[in-house]
Structure 1
Amino acid sequence: MIDLFMICGAYLLGGMSTGYYLVRLWQKDDVRNYGSGATGATNAGRVLGKKGFFLTVMGDALKGAFPPALSMLLNLSLTTLILCLIAVVAGHIWPLQLGLRGGKGVAPALGGILVIDPILALTAVVIFLFVLVLTRQFTLSGLVVILGAPVLSFIMERPIEQSAGLAVLAILILFAHRKNIQEMGKKTLQRRR
């Protein structure tokens, strides 16, 4: 019963979108009226600048870290930890109180992965920074890491529940980024012409 409570609580916590509330507090506006229409760090940064970006990343990462950390403290199974991470990211992407229009899930996913598997998370951050230096594209770098996380987990011989859960997480985040992916594809095609 506590497992189900934790998973549902993780989803509801995921819906507490840091960028949305920061813009509401400081600008008396809805961050979803700007840029991509998302509540995440990139869009919050468009409205609030670097400080808003940083605070949103930190808030969303902490939000992603909390359910798995609490599950560990309660000595729940690895499956429950992974389901809590998936739930908090799903809540971030589709928050009930915001009409299912939230962020894209990268920061809470990274926060949760950092708690569940710090070595994997740090390896992913190194890959992210490497791709960022090469491409100078924040979104592309994040997507490479999200796609690579289940592969890294498998290569590092982590439990199958973790690798499978990270694969589900990757699918959710890719779905949330589908418009970004289409835009990147269009830009690539335009450069080749």
Structure 2
Amino acid sequence: MLAVLLPVLAYYLGSVCSAILICRLWRLPDPRSVGSENPGTTNVYRLGGKWPALATFVFDMLKGMLPVLLAIYLQQPELVVALCAVFACLGHIFPLFFGFKGGKAVATAFGVILALEWIMGLALIIVWLAIMKKLRISSVAAIVTVCLAPILAFAISSPWFMSITLMSCTIVLRHLPNIRRLWDGNELGT
């Protein structure tokens, strides 16, 4: 029963779009209709600066972290933990409460990784920040970081390798339009 309920709960939690709610709270435009039209941290940064973006990042991380920690606390098998990770990200990407138009789930993925392997999660956030500072293109930072995650999980023999790999594949698939724009030289920077 928990094997079904926990991923569903993860999806519902992931569907709470913090970028939209924070933009409403800060009286900013709906991030789905301006800028990159992506309700995520980078677009909120473009619209309102660092504080609304930081709030969005933290709340999006918690959406990934909490259901995964709950599944671990309830001693669920790795498959259930992996499903919680993926469904939290899918909730962010296709939010039930916001017309199924969501973000890229990068911060949600960071929350998942922090819950599973916190040192690796911190290292990946540092990598993401370094790439952002150097290149100023959020999608490149995200794609490189999520591709690095399974490699690091394998290198440290993480028991959560499958969970991290499934979640990383989900994020890369969500970035396919960004990869096309990068290839064409049309991708937005910050």
- Do they superpose with TM above 0.5? yes
Counterpart secondary structure, 2:162: helix
Aligned residue runs from structure 1 range 110-149, under 5 A: 110-149=110-149
- 1:156 and 2:171 are equivalent in the alignment: no
The answer to whether the aligner puts 1:170 opposite 2:172 as a matched pair is no
- Which range moved further: 168-177 or 93-102? 168-177
Moved more, 43-52 or 26-35: 26-35
1:77 counterpart residue number: 77
What's the CA shift for 1:152?
1.2
Secondary structure of the residue aligned to 1:33 is coil
CA shift digits 1:31-89 (9 cap, x unpaired) = 20111211111112222221111110011011111101112222222222221111100
- How well do the aligned residues superpose, as a CA RMSD in angstroms? 1.9
**Is the CA contact (8 Å cut-off) linking 1:65 and 1:112 kept in structure 2?**
yes
Q: Say which structure is richer in helix.
A: 1
> What does residue 89 of structure 2 align with?
89
Q: Which has the higher contact order (CA 8 A, sep 6+)?
A: 2
The code of the aligned residue for 1:63 comes to: K
Structure 1 length as normaliser, TM-score?
Answer: 0.87
TM normalised by structure 2 equals 0.88
Conservation of the 8 A alpha-carbon contact between 2:78 and 2:163: no
Change (3 A) 1:136 1:53: same
Long gaps (5+) in structure 1? 189-193
Q: Counterpart of 2:185 in 1: which secondary structure? A: helix
Matches within 5 A, 1:41-56: 41-56=41-56
Moved over 6 A (4+): none
Q: Secondary structure at the match of 1:32?
A: coil
- Which of the pair has more CA radius of gyration? 1
